[in-house]
Chain A
Amino acid sequence: MAKIADMYSKILNDAVRYLLMFLLAFLLFGLILLIFGKDPIQSYKDLFISTLGSTYGFSEVIVAMIPMLITALAVALPWRVGLINIGGEGQLCIGAAFATWGALTFQNLPAWILLPIMIILGMLGGALWAFIPGYLKAIGLVNETIITLLLNSVAPLVVGFLIFGFWHSPMDTVKTANFVPAALLPTFFGTRIHLGLIFGLVLLALFWFVMKYTRWGLEMRAIGGNPQAARRSGISLKGYLIVVMCIGGAAAGLAGMAQVSGFYGVLLLNFSMGLGYMGFLISWLAGGQPLGIFLMSFVVAIIITGGNLLQLTRGLPYAVINILLAITLFVVLARPVFFERKKA
């Protein structure tokens, strides 16, 4: 009994701590808004009413959450074997491009064949993009961090090349033609929430299950703990590094597929807007834990969705919402101490 009470008090403690941290972040951002001559209270009112104040706003938050859930997973899984995948951004772009190729090439197929093809292509694209750093790391040549970072800059250029060179619609050079209805992920409840949400939730659950209850999970944790010891005990280190990196890339690729097929319905230039990097931050703040990823994605999604509206109503550039996001991250990273912990 005492154990359960302890657990509850710990959860309550954490909840209060995070709430205070978010409050502090909002206070700091309000200060910046004041300096630049905007009314912070009105801005926050807009932000919360637009996101949590209506069913529509809430559904938009969920929509924004979908790619974050999946890109965070693309970071959390490789992290378990000690790989730092900052490449979600690039893997997402390439995955989206592969899926788009499928949507444009096989547009006469019915949805129940076309969508699985696009999903597989998207995952394949992300996995291929992640294979490069994974392989280079596994053979001990170059650190995966720096290669994933560089490939992030290359991927949007490749996507741009494909759009400008081959795929752009007759009307518009910066995007492809709208996908045929069969290439669109189904949406629910008359909102923009699409099937990608199920992908994200299922993948998170799967991730939790595999890490906790399977041999693979055990071996991955062993590698993450001490790679040399794991290798000596007969685990194929190279194989794991490459495969896990590719699975991470595949997840990011799936997020890209979900964005173009479920959200935009078209491949746009620079459609990602830092989703891959956000996935990294969310995963890191959540300590790579599935439940934490879910909660942090929700918070970040509120900020991003609300920011869209601030831009419209308050005449602020869209990028400004990055400040609120960053300050929230700063505060969480700084782990402020609000009350002295009592020593037992």
Chain B
Amino acid sequence: MSLLSILGVLSSAIFSGTSLLYATLGEVIGQRSGIVNLGLEGVMLVSASCGFAVTSMSGNPYLGVLAAMLAGGLLNMILGYLVISRQANQLASGLALMFFGFGLSALIGKSYVGAKIDGLPRILLPGLSGLPRLYASLFKFDLLIYLAVPMAFLVFWILFRTRWGLGLRAVGENADTAFASGRNPRLIRYQALFAAGVLAGLGAAHLSIAYTMTWAEYMTAGRGFIAIALVIFSRWHPLQAIAGALIFSGAVAFQLLLQSSGVEISPLLLDTIPYIVTMLVLIAWGGHRKHSAPASLGRVYYGSE
């Protein structure tokens, strides 16, 4: 196997892992505030379709990214209304949101199936301009890839080094205590969900506008669910989410490597690798997990009247 094909595998692994990192970071924020969003898959789909549609209409991929972020944030507000204001069950509301996303994205994307767009421009990694063209093309990444890891640090800084982040985590641990110390749990949860939706939208935008540059129904193919698993895997910590996304990318790379080296394994079985790796890691870490889950994750805050 040549160096070129190995580098090619790594490059595509990075491309497919980026959307996952953004979505995972978003879900970390949401769950830190105490809300599980099982509808992430649907939110990503709607963002991906909106982003793609706007890019296709305007010809400007950055406008598309913006639209995707906005769509993600707004869709999460539906979940917010149900679970925060109406105090509905989070898992059921999330699944309903997932169905909503399936339908809405199909409706939005209907006239864009098979359409072509100019995706986010790809920029060569600095300092590599001396490489031969064939190699250089493997190190050309778009802006969202370069920003993915810094985004994890930004989320870490916001959650653990700012007042707002402290309040958010306090609400996720115990909303009543947070309320007693002068915070508004409902408002903070809405804000957290909006931020989570924006990040999920960024991930989805990368998927449809930068990576595949097409729209297809159900193009996220389970990424939303993997992201939810990775949140637990990363113990609700933004920096460990990077490791989680790397594991996923590694599994994708392994799968591509096996395929390109001609090993006769069904691609369908290889597709199960990310899920199985995630499960094995969850099992291996099972004992420690409890200590880091936000204490009131999934609980309804009834207010203090």
Contacts and interface: CB of A to CB of B under 8 A. Distances in A.
The answer to whether A binds B is yes
Interface in B96-120: 96-100, 102-107, 110
A335 interface: yes
A154 B100 contact: no
Nearest to B82: A333
Given A142-B282, A157-B269, A333-B92, A326 B103 contact: yes
B112 to A, nearest CB: 12
Contact of A329 (B99, B104, B276, B289): B99
Interface residues of A, number: 47
B78 interface: yes
Contacts of B149: none
A206 B232 CA distance: 37
Contacts of A111: none
A161 B275 contact: no
Contacts of A190: none
A146 B232 contact: yes
Chain B interface helix/strand/loop/mixed: helix
Interface string B254-266: 0000000000001
A145 B86 contact: no
Interface stretch (A213-221, A225-233, A253-261, A317-325): A317-325
A319 B96 contact: no
B104 A323 contact: yes
Nearest to A335: B86
Given A160-B268, A329-B96, A149 B228 contact: yes
A71 to B, nearest CB: 13
Interface in A138-175: 140-143, 145-147, 149-154, 157-158, 160-161, 164-165
Contact of B283 (A32, A142, A274, A321): A142
Interface residues of B, number: 44
Contacts of B229: 146, 149-150
A73 B103 CA distance: 25
B157 interface: no
A167 B38 CA distance: 34
Contact of B88 (A280, A321, A327, A335): A335
B132 interface: no
A326 B91 contact: no
Given A86-B91, A154-B275, A334-B86, A317 B110 contact: yes
Contact of B266 (A145, A154, A165, A274): A165
Contact of A149 (B104, B225, B287): B225
A337 B77 CA distance: 20
Interface in B264-293: 266, 268-269, 271-272, 275-276, 278-279, 282-283, 286-287, 289
Contacts, number: 133
Contacts of B176: none
Nearest to B92: A284
Interface string A322-344: 11111101100111000000000
Contacts of B225: 149-150, 152-153
A281 B217 CA distance: 23
Interface in B56-113: 78, 81-82, 86, 88-89, 91-93, 95-100, 102-107, 110
B222 interface: yes
Interface string A77-111: 00000001010000000000000000000000000
Contact of A330 (B96, B110, B226, B228): B96
A277 interface: yes
B283 to A, nearest CB: 6
Contacts of B88: 333-335
A169 to B, nearest CB: 18
Contacts of A323: 99-100, 103-104, 107
Nearest to A318: B106
A55 B202 CA distance: 49
Contacts of A325: 99, 103
A157 B283 contact: no
Given A150-B275, A165-B266, A319 B102 contact: yes
Interface of B: 38, 78, 81-82, 86, 88-89, 91-93, 95-100, 102-107, 110, 217, 222, 225-226, 228-229, 232, 266, 268-269, 271-272, 275-276, 278-279, 282-283, 286-287, 289
28 contacts: A86-B91, A141-B286, A142-B283, A142-B286, A146-B228, A146-B229, A146-B232, A147-B279, A147-B282, A149-B228, A150-B275, A151-B279, A152-B225, A153-B226, A154-B275, A280-B91, A319-B217, A322-B99, A322-B100, A323-B103, A326-B100, A326-B103, A327-B100, A329-B92, A330-B100, A333-B88, A333-B96, A335-B86
Interface of A: 32, 36, 84, 86, 136, 140-143, 145-147, 149-154, 157-158, 160-161, 164-165, 274, 277, 280-281, 284-285, 316-327, 329-330, 333-335
